[in-house]
Amino acid sequence: MVLKLYSHGISTSAQRVICVLVEKKVPFEIIEVDIVKGEHKEPAYKEMQPWGLLPVLEENGFRLYESRAICRYIAEKYADQGTQLVPDPTDLEARGLFEQGLAMEAGTVDPCVFAALNEKLFKPFKTGASCDDELYVVLLKRVELVLDVYEVILGKQRYIGGNQYSLADIYHLPNGFALQAQCDEQVFLSEKRPNVARWWSEITGRDAWKQVGELNKPGMHTLE
């Protein structure tokens, strides 16, 4: 049975999953959930995702939500194909750096990036309210402060989870790229942080990420 992803084209969380699917060369079908019409809040959808959020993965009757959990499931189930995105479990040092990178992204960096992105982009879309420009400047400064720390970390290792490209890097991509592309903020490419800029240019330049926009549409997607 083909893996199904219940999603919508504007979902940054779905972009995270799609990037992993492409890296792992796993064919998938996108079933569109029309969030403009509120389909994600209808009882039928909330049977799959009780929070009414996107995306949901369905494979052979098994359903999973929360994009990071979905990504981990795909990376480990299809470990023998495509790009290796999780270190060898027997290499405890590599595994430790990987888990450290995951924790930094989820607990520190993404909350700062998402808060700025939400104020500038998501809040006006969802509520019609205007961006609070003064608050946005404060939130963007917080992003810069966490990236100052990343500059130090990435001066000692190639990727955020060690020296291997991994899920820890992919998890940063959707919200960070939206801040760059849709809010025209270049904090990830600042000359003040050459290590961050080097890392960001590399991970956003990968073929899998470049394909995400085209693939985040309803229908069947077969990967080679």
Closest CA to 72 of 161, 157, 135: 161
What mean pLDDT do residues 184-194 have?
97
pLDDT tens per residue across span 88-144: 999 999 999 999 999 999 999 999 999 999 999 988 888 888 999 999 999 999 999
State yes or no: cis peptide before 55, omega within 30 of 0: yes
The pLDDT of residue 214 is 85
Within 10 Å of residue 179's Cβ, how many Cβ atoms? 22
The answer to whether 132 and 69 are in contact (CB under 8 A) is: no
